[in-house]
Each structure stands twice: as structure tokens, then as C-alpha cells.
Amino acid sequence: MVNLEHYWMPYTDNPRFKAAPKMIVGAKDMHYTLADGRQVLDGLATLWCVNAGHCRPKIVEAIQKQAGQLDFASSFSTGHPLAFAVAERVAELAPEGLDHVFFTNSGSEAVDTVMKMAVAFHRIRGEGARTRFIGREKGYHGVNIGGMSVSGVPVNRKAYGGLLLGGTDHLRHTHDLARAFTRGCPATGAELADELEQRILPLHDASNIAAVIVEPVSGAGGVLVPPQGYLQKLRDICTKHGILLIFDEVICGFGRLGKPFASQYFGVTPDMITFAKGVTSGSVPLGGVIVKKDIYETFMKSAGAGVQFFHGYTYSGHPLACAAALGTLDTYAEEKLFDRPIELAKAFEEGVHSFKGSPHVIDCRNLGLIGAIELTPRLGAAGARGFEVFEKCWDKGVFVRPIGDNVAFCPPLICEKTHLDQMFGTVAEVLRTVS
Ligand code: PXG
Ligand code: PLP
């Protein structure tokens, strides 16, 4: 039996887990194997990452082979071919014009990296006053100091007082129950983006703002789908005022909406993209930032001979992570997995919206292969109902994630209609038993 005492688990009610551990010992394709041998269907690509499914042969082989060939080489003034190969592949998938890639080990590191890049970029161009960032309420940009500061999920901020960066402001979120049960992007609400120009820019002055950072579709804030035209409006306002637009595609990237990146799905091109998770299908930690050529070249011209960007992680471009990425990108391409959200669109949307009228359900939201239902909170116990749904589904062999009183769906792209039926069917059954 495993000693549960010493591990301080992240983002977890530790005593609750340790009293009744949900212990996973194996995984294959769409399923986990638990310690007692039971199978659990993975309805959230684990943590929005495992887009290719679990333990896929090409990915496993690539990691195994690399571990025996080159365990580690640093990218600080030395290099190894895999990092260059992954950068090229990611640039090929990225929107037109975004073609240089910086590696990190996680989405949180990608966000703090992109913030430092944005400030340094403006400074090189003689606009050193541009140091402020605009995030959005309900946004999630990881847990490091920069990312936490531009995030807008209150529970992730409230314990950290003076650690939050001062130079930030937040747009209003786009969630509105007046638009409840919208399928895909709401037709109204684009005007929420006008707040940037009407309230925020006059308050801080555009000349002090480095960048606006948003998730194209918010994930950890409860799966919030942007109103039609909203992202384009943000793009236009940023362009007009010389502000960089950053799309945090840590969840949306690598096929979630049926395109490599959400930018391509929405036809809106940011200046910089952060990614992580799906790039290795969760198999080895890897993240990064993709930037426009002009941003990279501005840095390259800046310092004469010498380091152009004083930033990097020991494990930036780690060989094992890069091998995993190549195996993953090959799997996506060979199996045409980025088409799956399109092929499954109707079934997934019908499934999410089948909860309209179910007990406690006040909203259903979906886009591509990401969706959520929102439940009314219990009086004085926000989140308790969502957590109960998660636990009861787990006991019935289905993993879905509670986000407060939202229940999120984000299955691996290899899923079939039968998996969707099982996932939605189990949630429906459970909702009938939840008080
Ligand atoms: N940006 C976005 C948009 C994310 O979704 C991060 C940054 C941070 O990535 P790392 O790799 O540092 O975790 C994320 C991660 C949840 C949940 O509650 C969501 C994430 C991570 C953990 C939990 O749904 N998203
Ligand atoms: N702390 C110390 C003492 C270090 O030497 C380093 C890296 O050399 C770090 C933190 C940062 O670690 P990483 O590069 O893995 O983010």
C-alpha cells in the first residue's frame, strides 16, 4: 500500500483525497485503469491535455528511444536537433506570420515568458512605458506571479495579496445567463470588447499598456465561449493602439476546436500565442510561446553581439519533451485528429445541450470538443453540487471535471460517439440523484 502522507497534492483537498484515494495506475486510449482494476472513461483529456489519447504507440516509442539516446542537453548556448524540429513543426501549424517558438515546461511558464517578452519588446522599440497588462475576469493564465496577476478567477488570487502585480487591469468576462443555452458562439455580446477602448484605455492610457491577454475560449473559468465578433474587436482595438494581443491557447491549441489553434478557427490572428498541454498530449511537460517574425527580429537586431532575451528555463526544449512532441504531432497528422471536433461537432453539441431541463442545470455551453453545463449552487456551499457530480460520475466509471458548479467536458480527440454517449449518459443519471 502506498504511503499517502508525504505528498502535498496540487489544487486538491488533500485530506479528502487521502480518505478515499482516486488512484490511477495505468491508462490506454480513452481510459484510466484504477488500483482496483476498474476502468474510468477520461472525459477531460485528463486536465485538458491528452488530445491524442493515453499511451499512444508513436509517443511512447519516441520517448523511450530518446531516453536512451540523449537524456538531456541544454539549450543555453548549446543545442540539440529535436528542439529545432519541434519549433519548425509548431511554426508550420501556427497561424500565418507567427513563426518563432520559445520553449517552456508548462503553460504557467509560457504566460510569464510572454509577459516578459512583451515588455522587453516594447522597451527595445523605445516604448518602455508599456508595462501594463490587461487580462479578463474569469480568465486563467496559470499560477506563476505574472499569470496569476492577469488571471481573473478570484479563488486563485485571494490568498496572495501583495504578490499580485500592480500594473494590471481586467476586462469584464463574457458570461451572461441571459444568453444561457446558446449553441456555439453567442450572436450578441461582441460589444463587451468595447470596454477596452471605452474604459480601460482612457484610465491607464494606451501608451502604458504592453498587451491584452485572453483565452479564445476560457477553460478553467468555466468554459466560456466568446460572442461572435468579440475577439476581432479586441484585435482591432489593440492594433489601433499599438498594444500586443496575446491568445493563451494552452487549452484551445492543438486541435480542440477543429483547427491547430483557436486563432485559425476564429480567423483572428494575435501577435503571440502561449501553448502547452496538447503539444505533447500531456505525456511529458512542454509549453512555449509562438511569436510573429517581426517580434523575433526586433529582439535579434537589438543587442548587437550578445544575449537578446535574458530569460530561459533549465529545461527549455528538453530532449524528452521534444521527442514526445514529435511523436504527438505525427499522431495528430497521421490520424487527422484535428478533424475530429468537426466530425463529432453535432453529437457533442447535442450531448451538451441534452441537459437543458435536467435538474439544477442553468446553462449549457459548447464549441468544438469543449463544453460545460452549469448548475445552480447550493445555498452557502458554492461548488459542492459540482463536486458531488464529479465524485458520483467517477464512481460510475466516468471522469468529468467540476469547476465550481460547472461540469466540464473535454474528451481526447480520439473519442467516438459511444464514448460521448457514455459520458453524457452517466452525467444525466447522476444529476437525477444529486440533491
Ligand atoms: N493558461 C491556460 C489557458 C490554462 O488553461 C495554464 C495557462 C497553465 O498551464 P500549466 O501547464 O502551468 O498548468 C492553463 C492550465 C482547471 C485547470 O481547473 C486548468 C489548467 C490547469 C490546472 C487546472 O480546469 N489550465
Ligand atoms: N533556483 C536555483 C538555485 C537555480 O540554480 C535555478 C536554475 O539554475 C532555478 C532556481 C531555476 O530553475 P529552472 O531553470 O529549472 O526554472
Q: Which residues have C-beta within 8 Å of that of residue 145, sequence separation ≥ 6?
A: 112, 163, 164, 165
Q: Give the count of beta carbons closer than 10 Å to the beta carbon of residue 211.
A: 26
Q: Retrieve residue 386's grid coordinates.
A: 459540482
Overall fold of domain 14-55+338-431: Aspartate Aminotransferase, domain 1 (3.90.1150)
Cβ of 314 below 6 Å from ligand 2: yes
Instruction: Quote the ligand 2 centre to 8 CA distance (angstroms).
Output: 21
Instruction: Quote the ligand 2 centre to 83 CA distance (angstroms).
Output: 20
Q: Could you tell me which of 237, 48, 201, 213 has the C-alpha nearest to residue 146? A: 213
Ligand 2 atom nearest to CA at 314: 14
Task: State the Cα–Cα distance between residues 13 and 248, nearest whole angstrom.
Answer: 27
Determine the pLDDT at residue 113: 99
Ligand that comes closest to the CA of residue 282:
1
Instruction: Quote the ligand 1 centre to 252 CA distance (angstroms).
Output: 11
pTM of the model: 0.97
Q: What count of Cα atoms within 13 Å lies in the side-chain half-sphere of residue 194?
A: 4
Residue nearest to atom 6 of ligand 2 (CA): 314
Q: Pick from 311, 314, 315, 318 the residue to mutate for probing ligand 2's pocket: most ligand atoms within 8 Å of its CB.
A: 314
Torsion angle of C-alpha atoms 184, 190, 195, 196, degrees rounded to 10: 80
Determine the pLDDT at residue 426: 98
Determine the pLDDT at residue 29: 98
**What lines the ligand 1 site, CB under 6 Å?**
47, 106-108, 111, 140-142, 215, 219-220, 248, 250-251, 276, 287, 401, 403
DSSP state of 127: -
Ligand that comes closest to the CA of residue 315:
2
Same fold flag, 14-55+338-431 and 61-334 = no
Tell me how far apart the 2 most distant CA atoms of the chain are, in Å.
67
β-strands 98-104, 287-292 pairing: antiparallel
- Strand order, beta sheet including 132-136: 98-104, 287-292, 272-275, 244-248, 209-214, 132-136, 168-171
32-43: b (≥16 Cβ within 10 Å) or e: bebeeeeebbbb
Cβ of 313 below 6 Å from ligand 2: yes
Q: Could you tell me which of 400, 391, 388 has the C-alpha nearest to residue 424? A: 400
Q: Could you tell me which of 293, 248, 252 has the C-alpha nearest to residue 91? A: 293
Task: State the Cα–Cα distance between residues 141 and 214, nearest whole angstrom.
Answer: 8
For domain 61-334, say whether CATH 3.40.640.10 is its number: yes
Q: Where are the domains of the chain?
A: 14-55+338-431, 61-334
Mean pLDDT for each 10-residue chunk of the chain (435 residues)? Answer: 95 97 98 97 98 98 98 97 98 98 98 98 97 98 98 96 96 98 98 98 98 98 98 98 99 98 98 99 98 98 87 98 98 98 98 97 98 97 98 98 98 98 98 96
Ligand 2 atom nearest to CA at 313: 14
Task: State the Cα–Cα distance between residues 106 and 86, nearest whole angstrom.
Answer: 16
Determine the pLDDT at residue 304: 74
Which residue is listed with cell 529545432?
84
Q: Could you tell me which of 401, 421, 40 has the C-alpha nearest to residue 221? A: 401
Is the distance from CB of 373 to CB of 386 less than 8 angstroms? Answer: no
Q: Could you tell me which of 361, 368, 411, 387 has the C-alpha nearest to residue 259? A: 368
Residue nearest to atom 9 of ligand 1 (CA): 107
DSSP state of 226: P
Q: Is 290 helix (H, G, I), strand (E, B) or coil?
A: strand
Ligand 2 atom nearest to CA at 316: 14
β-strands 398-399, 132-136 pairing: unpaired
Residue 30 CA from chain centroid, whole number:
20
